[in-house]
Amino acid sequence: MPKERTLAMIKPDAVRRQLIGAIIQQIESAGFTIRAMKMVWLRPQEAQTFYSVHRNKPFFDSLIQYITSGPVVALVLERENAITELRNLMGATNPAEAQPGTIRHQYGLSIEQNAIHGSDSPENAQREIAFFFGEREIYTYEQP
């Protein structure tokens, strides 16, 4: 199967609790190759663009407040079936409903402060990767 790319974002609640390393360790152990990575403190307007699909949801203003409350770590991840596999590794949106062993079950605090984002479709993966990264920032080195 051809490799696929997805966008992961370690959210401010997890960055603040010094969980970047633990979460990246789980991602790499699950067979994802990191093709790009950066820490970014999003401005409100940028966050509104990133989450524009949710602009009519009742939780939108709170989501923008939260996601701009500190830096996030954005990653371009690659593996077979990357979008679905990352969503499986993340677990359900609500950590209380996430399966044991998933990132959100282990590290999520609430349905909002749930430690990690992952793209939900090929279209959104492409849009979200381009939101954070230029072509020159994504490295397609071969594995040794």
Give min distance, CB of 51 to Mg ion, in A.
9
Complex with Mg ion: residue 68 or 114, whichever CB lies closer: 114
What are the tokens at 23? 């979460």
Does 54 participate in catalysis according to the annotation? no
What are the tokens at 88? 């499986």
Query: 141: Cβ–Cβ under 8 A, 6 or more apart, which residues?
Result: none
Q: Which does 81 bind (CB under 5 to 8 A by kind): Mg ion, ligand IDP, none?
A: none
Binding site for Mg ion (CB under 5 A): 120
Alpha helices (H) in 3-144, listed in sequence order: 12-16, 20-29, 44-50, 60-67, 82-90, 103-107, 122-132
SS3 89: helix
Give min distance, CB of 141 to ligand IDP, in A.
29
Q: Which does 114 bind (CB under 5 to 8 A by kind): Mg ion, ligand IDP, none?
A: ligand IDP
Per-residue contact track with ligand IDP, 97 to 136, x per CB under 6 A? --------------xx-x--x--x----------------
User: What residues between 20 and 59 interact with ligand IDP by CB under 6 A?
Assistant: 54, 59
Picking from 21, 19, 10, the residue whose alpha carbon sits closest to that of residue 116 is 10
CA distance 104 to 51: 19
Residues forming the site for ligand IDP (CB under 6 A): 54, 59, 62-63, 93, 111-112, 114, 117, 120
Residues tagged active-site: 117
